[in-house]
Amino acid sequence: MSINEQILTAIKQYQTIIIHRHKRPDPDAIGSQLGLAQILKASFPKKTVLAAGKQYDGFNWMGKTDEIADDQYAHALVIVVDTANQPRVDDDRYNKGQMMIKIDHHPNDDAFGDVMWVEPEASSTSELIYDFFAANTADLVMPSEAARLLYAGIVGDTGRFMYPSTSSHTFEVAARLTTYDFSASEVNKIEDEIDIPLARLSAYVYENLTILDSGAAYLVLSDKVLAPFKLGDDSTSAVVPLPGKIKDVTSWAIFVQQKDSSFRIRLRSKGPAINELAKKYGGGGHPLASGAVVEDEAHIKAFVADLNQVVTDYKK
Ligand code: AMP
């Protein structure tokens, strides 16, 4: 049985299906979660299909997650999308179901679930959800709302079709999705727009980024720096890609101070793989987009020295 058949068979067996995604979601996490939910609701109207996880106002344009009672997990199939590691799953109850399926496009460092479908080469989990639909058109239907959500996920995770993960298949899937009844340009616009605090923070990032001779770059966004911008929850995400627009920058780290005063590292690269470096600091991720956490400023210094070395070695 192909993996697509295995997943469909499991879906058919369960009356309740609960879909989880990762904490601090991005458009791909939400697009793949709610897109799959819409496909399953439309295809199996008698099933109960629920989306778990915290609702963020900034993502209301994509839809809403559901209130789920503990006892709904007892006989449920849980599908976890777009989440590499179990601690990152939003809502700890993800392992309370009867069966679990993992669908993801991150490196499979934490292999969990009774059935796993992990394609690290795929641009996004939303692309995989489309592939799942396309492999099972005899049983599945795609409402336009699902197409909109999956398109939004692909746009988000490919940086508007710019990152190297964007394959010819990604374009094919996007082209197919845009044949449905929704405005792709409206989705593009929403994902591209930023609010005024974020525009001001973007200016700060360009003004204050340190660019080393190697092409490694970094910026520390401490509480003190961030406070005057009056940003919302996790809104530093939108500035993470900005240093990559600079020709001289090859790989970069943005250190964002957390409530416990540690620093979340948001690491990106246009050249060398940086996920091994992230792993060295207890994190992980994709070759060109990774993350980790460091305790304090002293560790930031060590991390920057390591990043500088990675970029220097790459250019030799
Ligand atoms: P972010 O900068 O949070 O968008 O993270 C980019 C990618 O790095 C994510 O898609 C995750 O795969 C990975 N990542 C980020 N933080 C961590 C972490 N603390 N541990 C493991 N992987 C992480």
Q: Of all atoms in ligand 1, which is nearest to the CA of residue 240?
A: 2
Dist. CA 275 → ligand 1 center (Å): 9
CB of 266 closer than 6 angstroms to any ligand 1 atom? yes
Beta carbons within 8 Å of 191's beta carbon, 6+ residues apart: 27, 152, 155, 156, 160
Tokens of 133: 């639909």
Q: Is residue 265 lining ligand 1, measured as CB closer than 6 Å?
A: no
Map 46-65 to HEC letters: CCEEEECCCCCHHHHHHCCC
Which residues pair with residue 51 across a beta bridge?
19
Cα of 144 vs centre of ligand 1, distance in Å, is: 30
At residue 194, the pLDDT reads 86
Q: Does the reported pTM lie above 0.85?
A: yes
Q: Where are the alpha helices (DSSP H) in 193-296?
A: 196-208, 223-226, 275-280
Q: Which parts of 52-164 are beta strand (E)?
A: 76-81, 99-104, 115-118
For ligand 1, atom 6, name the residue with the nearest CA: 290
292 lines ligand 1 (CB under 6 A): yes
Report helix, strand or coil for 99: strand
User: Measured between alpha carbons, how far apart are the two ends of the chain, in Å?
Assistant: 47
Closest residue by CA, ligand 1 atom 2: 266
Residue 26 Cα: closest atom of ligand 1: 4
CA 51 and chain centroid, separation? 16
Ligand 1 contact via 289 beta carbon (within 6 Å):
yes
Nearest to residue 28, comparing CAs of 160, 215, 142?
Answer: 160
Atom of ligand 1 nearest to the CA of 85: 21
Looking only at Cα atoms, what is the longest distance across the chain?
Answer: 61
pLDDT computed for residue 234 by the predictor: 65
Question: Which atom of ligand 1 is least distant from the CA of 282?
Answer: 20
Instruction: Indicate left, alpha or beta for 161 from its phi (over 0: left) and psi (-120 to 50: alpha).
Output: left
For the record, the structure tokens of 41 come out as: 């609701």
User: Contact at 8 Å (CB) between 214 and 312?
Assistant: yes
Separation CA 103–CA 89 (nearest Å): 12
Does residue 106's CB lie within 6 angstroms of at least one atom of ligand 1? yes
Å from CA of 283 to ligand 1 middle: 7
Cα separation, 277 vs 93, in Å, equals 31
Ligand 1 contact, 97 CB (< 6 A): no
Residuewise pLDDT in 10s, the chain (316 residues): 999 999 999 999 999 999 999 999 999 999 999 999 999 999 999 999 999 999 998 899 999 999 999 999 999 999 999 999 999 999 999 999 999 999 999 989 899 999 999 999 999 999 999 999 999 999 999 999 999 999 999 999 999 999 899 999 999 999 999 999 999 999 999 999 988 999 999 999 999 999 999 999 999 999 999 999 988 666 788 899 999 999 999 999 999 999 899 999 999 999 999 999 999 999 988 899 999 999 999 999 999 999 999 999 999 9
**β-strand 289-294 against 263-269: which pairing, if any?**
antiparallel
DSSP for 162-198 reads TSTT--HHHHHHHHHHTTSSS-HHHHHHHHH---HHH
Question: Does ligand 1 have an atom closer than 6 angstroms to the CB of 277?
Answer: no
Reading the block at residue 194, the tokens are: 């930023």
Report whether residue 285 contacts ligand 1, using a CB cutoff of 6 Å.
Answer: yes
Question: Mutate which of 235, 290, 294, 299 to test ligand 1's pocket (most atoms within 8 Å of Cβ)?
Answer: 290
Is residue 240 within 8 Å of 252, Cβ to Cβ?
no
CATH class of 196-315: alpha beta
Domain ranges of the chain: 3-192, 196-315
Residue with the smallest CA separation from ligand 1 atom 12 is 285
Q: What is the SS3 assignment for 218?
A: strand
Cβ neighbors of 68 (< 8 A, separation 6 or more) are 18, 50, 52, 91, 93
Is the CB of 291 within 6 Å of ligand 1?
yes
CATH value of 3-192 in 3.30.360.10, 2.60.40.420, 3.20.20.80, 3.90.1640.10? 3.90.1640.10
Cα separation, 116 vs 131, whole angstroms? 15
Buried b or exposed e, range 6-34, using 16+ CB within 10 angstroms: ebbebbeebebbbbbbbeebbbbbbbbbb
CA 285–ligand 1 middle distance (angstroms): 5
* Backbone angles phi and psi of 275, in degrees to 5: -70, -25
